[in-house]
Copies of this chain bind each other. A is one copy, B any other.
């Protein structure tokens, strides 16, 4: 694959505190939905086709993907969506960085990554 993975991008981007801040804010709401759309299209599926795989309606897929909708989906919904488009959802818990006045070269952030 020529494109950098999300992990690669993330790793690099998070080194920059400015980028990190934006990343954090986007992560929750906006990023997920764009991510889902991207995965679905990568799988070559329309909303209607995906809806059929998930035994639901295209309007519900639209609502899930729509940035304007304020819903916070259930975990299982995202998991099923991911599986239907060929991906597995993984949850990572990253320690919240308490910004110290000066931080050394090797921040312990990535090391103390708390996910499996």
Known contacts A78-B75, A79-B25; decide if A114 and B87 are in contact (CB<8 Å): yes
Known: A90-B92, A90-B93. 8 other contacts (CB 8 A): A7-B92, A25-B79, A27-B88, A35-B115, A73-B75, A75-B78, A78-B91, A88-B93
Instruction: Give residues in A with beta carbon < 8 Å to B.
Output: 6-7, 24-25, 27-29, 31-32, 35, 39, 72-79, 82-83, 86-96, 98, 114-116
Copies in the complex: 2
CB-defined contacts of A98 to chain B, threshold 8 Å: 86
Q: Which residues of B contact A115 (CB under 8 A)?
A: 35, 90
Contact A96:B91 (CB < 8 A) given known A25-B79, A75-B75: no
